[in-house]
Amino acid sequence: MSAFIYGLGTGFSLILAIGAQNAFVLKQGLKKQHVFWVCLICALSDSILIGLGVTGFSKIIQQYPLIVDVAKYFGASFLFFYGLKNLYAAFKQTAVLNPSNIEPESLFKIIGLCLAFTWLNPHVYLDTVILVGSISVQFAQDYIQFAVGAMLASWIFFFGLGYAARFLLPLFQKAISWKILDFIIAILMWGIAVSLVI
């Protein structure tokens, strides 16, 4: 059980930092658009990567750092343009925005964005594959329990974030709140993009 608890704690400690993926989940939760699928993709992707990490895939990534480098530059480009999109939205929006009157986006578009936020983020590989994989070595006999704990942290966090976001909706009955959120997300995306390439 200690390996499971340690894995759960490790998973939460790595995922709680506000990153591009978390900001995207939060915004979809506020908009009440495809929340289940966004949470499912994020949690499932984390589980796959954690599984790869504890089964030794981290050694392959360490031997072939090109994998992380490719994700780094593609990820930085993606975050830069997504940041521009949010900045444009921050200055364009003038009406009061409620989730019910926000223009719906297609499920395929949201799935594509969600996959990009996850798989083009080199920090995902460093955190879930290399770091979690390295820590799991301490639990040679119980690495499965450790992995399950780390995976469960992702499922709890993403579904909690996606569905708890609606409790913030009263704050977002004003257009200025959406403008501020979009502006903060734009700055966050650009900050992460810059950190990836310097």
Residue 35 and residue 162 in contact, taking contact as beta carbons nearer than 8 Å: yes
Q: Mind listing the pLDDT tens digit for each residue in 47-88?
A: 999 998 888 776 776 677 777 777 778 778 888 887 888 888
C-alpha dihedral sign at 138, 144, 146, 150: positive
Q: Mind listing the pLDDT tens digit for each residue in 96-154?
A: 455 555 667 899 999 999 998 888 877 777 778 777 887 787 887 888 899 999 999 99
Q: Mind listing the pLDDT tens digit for each residue in 149-174?
A: 999 999 999 999 999 988 888 887 77
